[in-house]
């Protein structure tokens, strides 16, 4: 293990010059690269021996000058919780933890309270940019004490896109505000993606439009819907016209759900975001129980044909329902 005394000390409010980074996956690994290219010293830790700079979390802490700053970039939930708890045991008063994963904002308050018992500072930071952040920069939304934000500005400036700071970085408020802002950002992202997806399906299905990919590409400049998400959709269509190699199964990582819940808690209607979230739920069903119930009900009250799971039996089911409805004097019209 490294000797902590071999490193020069920093004063508590000095800007960070050497960062510890826990988690070197697709996002964390790219962030390490961008930080180093900006001239910051980074010591990274991950269980994968092919990517880590040190063997243990203890080694990471020992490699950093006091007061230490450690950025946590691991999956939300238990992995983040366990990492923060372990850092609470290893770090000292005046050290700072920045949590940059997709944690729920309420978790941040728990993390901050836990670390405060040992005098360790805490900042939460929502990070947007995905795999492109290493070259394009990351959109950052931070929550925490102004002094802690000021201390970490060299890190934020290295990660954010080039240009005015306020266009790629925001200090959203106290602890929890960063992840709250990122949660709402992702809820909006869900809705925008769903709108593009529905437009794509309609254009693809009609025989009026010959080249859907060209239409989307033509929207990239001069239109009110131009955006990076549109650019990425055009790229996807260029790589795979018709999206024939992609399954229609779409996961959600939690932020959309939390946004809808927050809307309910605050009596704010979020119908577009909610609909986009529900569309993802539907995408995971090979057979929808809800739609089966609707088909059965239409058959019962209107005698409408049902596509039975038994081959060749659909018309028999429909005819039986019609006879029953006629005998009871029920309407058999469309619905």
- Supply the residues annotated as catalytic: 182, 189
Give the sheet arrangement for strand 169-173, strand by strand.
41-45, 18-22, 69-72, 96-99, 121-128, 139-143, 169-173
Tell which residue, 71, 59, 92, 67, has the closest CA to residue 19. Answer: 71
Residues 80 and 103 sit within 8 Å (Cβ to Cβ): yes
Query: Helix, strand, or coil here: 267?
Result: coil
The candidate with the shortest Cα–Cα distance to 96, out of 36, 27, 142, 30, is 142
Say which residue the tokens 């990076």 belong to.
228
Q: What is the DSSP letter of 245?
A: T
For residue 198 the two structure tokens come to 């529905």
Q: Which two tokens stand for residue 333?
A: 């019209």
- Measured from the Cβ of residue 174, the count of other Cβ atoms closer than 10 Å reads 15
Helix (H) or strand (E) holding 81: helix 78-90
What is the number of residues in the chain?
Answer: 335
318 φ, ψ to 5°? -65, -45
Structure tokens belonging to residue 334 = 């469309």
Look up residue 133 and give its two tokens: 């952040």
Kindly report the backbone phi and psi dihedral angles of residue 52, in degrees, each rounded to the nearest multiple of 5, phi listed first: -75, 150
Nearest residue to 19 via CA among 147, 153, 118, 134: 153
């Amino acid at each position: 293990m490294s000797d902590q005394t071999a490193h020069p000390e920093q004063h508590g409010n000095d800007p960070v010059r050497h960062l510890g980074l826990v988690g070197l996956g697709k996002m964390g690994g790219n962030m390490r690269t961008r930080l180093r290219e900006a001239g910051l010293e980074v010591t990274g830790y991950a269980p994968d021996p092919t990517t880590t700079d040190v063997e243990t979390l203890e080694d990471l802490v020992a490699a950093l000058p006091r007061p230490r700053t450690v950025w946590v970039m691991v999956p939300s939930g238990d992995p983040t919780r366990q990492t923060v708890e372990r850092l609470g045991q290893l770090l000292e008063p005046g050290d700072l933890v920045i949590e940059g994963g997709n944690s729920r904002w309420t978790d941040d308050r728990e993390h901050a309270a836990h670390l405060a018992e040992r005098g360790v500072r805490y900042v939460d930071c929502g990070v947007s940019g995905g795999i492109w952040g290493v070259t394009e920069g990351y959109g950052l939304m931070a929550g925490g004490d102004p002094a802690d934000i000021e201390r970490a500005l060299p890190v934020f400036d290295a990660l954010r896109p080039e240009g005015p700071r306020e266009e790629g970085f925001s200090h959203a408020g106290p602890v929890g505000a960063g992840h709250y802002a990122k949660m709402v950002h992702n809820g909006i992202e869900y809705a925008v993606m769903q709108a593009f997806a529905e437009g794509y399906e309609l254009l693809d299905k009609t025989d009026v439009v010959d080249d859907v990919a060209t239409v989307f590409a033509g929207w990239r400049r001069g239109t009110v819907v131009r955006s990076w998400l549109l650019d990425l959709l055009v790229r996807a269509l260029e790589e795979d016209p018709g999206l024939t190699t992609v399954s229609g199964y779409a996961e959600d990582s939690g932020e959309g759900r939390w946004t809808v819940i927050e809307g309910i808690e605050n009596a704010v209607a979020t119908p577009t975001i909610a609909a986009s979230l529900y569309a993802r739920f539907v995408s995971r069903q090979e057979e929808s129980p809800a739609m089966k119930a609707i088909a059965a009900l239409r058959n019962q009250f209107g005698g409408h044909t049902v596509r039975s799971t038994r081959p060749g039996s659909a018309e028999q089911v429909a005819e039986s329902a019609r006879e029953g409805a006629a005998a009871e004097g029920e309407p058999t019209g469309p619905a």
